[in-house]
Amino acid sequence: MEKNETKTDIMSLTEAELTDFIKDLGQPAFRAKQLYLWMQAGAPLEEMSNLPKKFRELLNERAEYKLPKIERRFVSQKDGTVKYLFALNDGECVESVLMKYSYGNTLCVSSQAGCRMGCKFCASTLSGRVRNLTPSEILGQITAAERDSGERVHGIVMMGIGEPLDNYDNVIKFLHLVGEDGHGIGMRHISLSTCGLVPQIRHLAEEGLPVTLSVSLHAHCDDRRKKIMPIANKYPIEELLSACRYYFEKTGRRVSFEYTLISGENDSLDDARALAALLKREMKYPCHVNLIMLNEVSETGLKTVDKTQAKLFEAEMIRLGQNATIRRRLGGDIDASCGQLRLSRNREIETKA
Ligand code: SAH
């Protein structure tokens, strides 16, 4: 729970915690339920029409309730994907993407302002990590996107800006909040993507929150992985895959691996064979490989692969008995893989200053 001097960050509270807070304010408990419902709808305090004015004034004094502000919004003409740049309370910006699938809407959310993991191909990490998001700031992306689009979010992927397991406690609290009655998004509809923080993967396995774990692998051996992901210097692939096995054993959830195809770096058919062999040898349990075609970020100089090469890579994995699919790219026309919007907006501010 974040306290801003005497103010309590009420959207980071569970319904039970909110009820205690409301009672401490000397208000009847049913007000907590009303407030909770309004917050889930992403409504500002002034819209909470069934709450007495006096109560709202009291909340203004004692509670912190700041909704993300839509700074920019892009809608794909191709498939209706909506990309948001949200400004938080202190002006920091993060991105969320609303993707519409036949089985429901998925929102990709950010967990940190910036990132300190330093992956070579990623725009989110280019200017480091500014700060962690609070549980309410992660949740706020969902309520704000739902309110703006008029659509319900059925699933969440934690694949936006930041490394979720580098903001462990706030992310766990967020998962508890989002799984609660009002949002009721089941853990099975939530994917958490990590660059591979081994101790945190093991902790997560023990939380009793069976989210789908996606692990960014991007290479089949440590030497290659170290070239593009600094975290590989800390945790070798062997330890990482051992933590993934543990995750499967504890949760029964099949682990997914993300593998971004980068031209000349990791996209040959020999790489596909080595990856399939690695997973067969070390993972043992069924797992899935998501092949992602690199979204080029000009600063990195890295190049993407063509569709034919991606297809050949995928086919080779399947031939060797390893499940793999090329991730569908939604919102191709509004582009900007995670972190690019935030980066360009920060640059604009720097140039103006
Ligand atoms: N920090 C988490 C979430 C990051 S974003 C993680 O590392 O997994 C989700 C996925 O997108 C990760 O697999 C990440 O490596 C990948 N990614 C980041 N930038 C990319 C780019 N420019 N092109 C393709 N994939 C990218």
Nearest CA to ligand 1 atom 5: 159
At 296, list the tokens: 């080029």
- Is 60 exceeded by the pLDDT of residue 1? no
- Residue labelled with tokens 């509670």: 63
CB within 8 A of 57, min separation 6: which ones?
Answer: none
Residue 353's pLDDT band (cuts 50, 70, 90): low
Whole-structure pTM value = 0.95
Percent of the chain with pLDDT over 70: 95
pLDDT at 4 over 60: no
| Contact of 216 with 262, CB cutoff 8 Å | no
Paired residues of 178 in beta bridges: none
pLDDT digits (tens, 9 = 90+) for 215-249: 999 999 999 999 999 999 999 999 999 999 999 99
**Closest ligand 1 atom number to CA of residue 158:** 3
Q: Is residue 21 pLDDT above 60, yes or no?
A: yes
CA dist 79 and 75 (Å) reads 9
* Residue in 152, 105, 163, 104 with CA at minimum distance from that of residue 129: 163
Q: Regarding predicted confidence, which is higher, 268 or 352? A: 268
User: Does residue 338 have an active-site annotation?
Assistant: yes
CA of 195 to the centre of ligand 1 (A): 8
Q: Whose CA is nearest to atom 12 of ligand 1?
A: 216
pLDDT at residue 13, rounded to an integer? 95
Q: Which of 165, 260, 335, 342 to mutate to test the pocket of ligand 1 (most atoms within 8 A of CB)?
A: 260
Say yes or no to pLDDT of 275 above 70. yes
Work out which ligand 1 atom sits closest to the CA atom of 300.
Answer: 22
Ligand 1 pocket by Cβ (under 6 Å):
119, 121-122, 159, 163, 193-195, 216, 258, 260, 292, 294-295, 297, 337-338
Residue 64, helix vs strand vs coil: strand
pLDDT tens column, 120-131: 999 999 989 999
pLDDT bucket at 342, cuts 50 / 70 / 90: confident
Q: What is the pLDDT of residue 351?
A: 63
- DSSP tag of 41: T
End-to-end CA distance of the chain: 35
Smallest Cα–Cα separation from 342: which of 148, 84, 66, 143? 84
